[in-house]
Amino acid sequence: MRLISWNVNGLRACLKKGFLDFVNVIDADVICLQETKLQEHQVDFELPGYHRYWNYADKAGYSGTAIFSKTEPLSVARDFGADAHRHEGRVITAEYPDFYLVCCYTPNSQDELRRLEYRMEWEDDLRAYLCQLDLVKPVVYCGDLNVAHEEIDLKNPKTNHFNPGFSDEERGKMTQLLGCGFIDTFRTLHPDARDAYSWWSYRAASRERNVGWRIDYFITSARLRERIRTASILPEVTGSDHCPVLLELD
């Protein structure tokens, strides 16, 4: 089973930059999108063979997630937990016979970490949600998680130490999650891979110079480890300031 996760930074814009060409070439069973920035009626495109599921933010043109799946899930749930987490279209959960798939666009802590307190609440509540799902069946958790976990996961760790996405608090929440029976699939298969990034600033030709961050993940229940065939990053795919990440399961 081939799964793709991609923060498209506006699906309408990405459609003009080769999104459908990529979908046709990659031939994924499931495609998870983040930051779609639209509602379904605002876009029209052909995607034969896929069931489409959307979650929208209350605020127009903001956030949003989607799952496109060749197999119809057993069930689909949007959002999770408290009301505070249910207004930005950030989570879709699709249930398949042998696992749950959770597509997530994690809130950014924003400049000067002014949204860090909410981010910490989000992380604790989402971790509890993932653990609850994991009691029923294994979990595949993917998306733009807005954190570079270790120094190896971004080009300039020292100068970014207290910036959003690389604060001690955010990194600590990722460590907590991985301590609850989950694994970072890319790091599990490629523990020493350097210069492997999934997001680059539009500033200062960052992508051309590969000055990036790895903030897009496939995280799974540890008991899926033996089923993981491939976990990779696709930096050659443009169309967004993020590139897609890929997971293949037997």
Active site members: 105, 144
**What pairs with residue 102 in β-bridges?**
93, 141
CA-to-CA dists, residue 197 to 1, 77, 156, 178, 209, angstroms: 23, 30, 12, 20, 12
Three-class SS of the chain:
CEEEEEECCCHHHHHCCCHHHHHHHHCCCEEEEECCCCCHHHCCCCCCCCEEEEECECCCCCCCEEEEECCCCCEEEECCCCHHHCCECCEEEEEECCEEEEEEECCCCCHHHCCHHHHHHHHHHHHHHHHHHHCCCCEEEEEECCCCCCHHHECCCCCCCCCCCCCHHHHHHHHHHHCCCEEEHHHHHCCCCCCCCCEECCHHHCCCCCCEECCEEEEEEHHHHHHEEEEEECCCCCCCCECCEEEEEC
Q: At residue 216, what are phi and psi to the nearest 5 degrees?
A: -110, 130
The β-bridge relationship of strands 245-249 and 2-7 is antiparallel
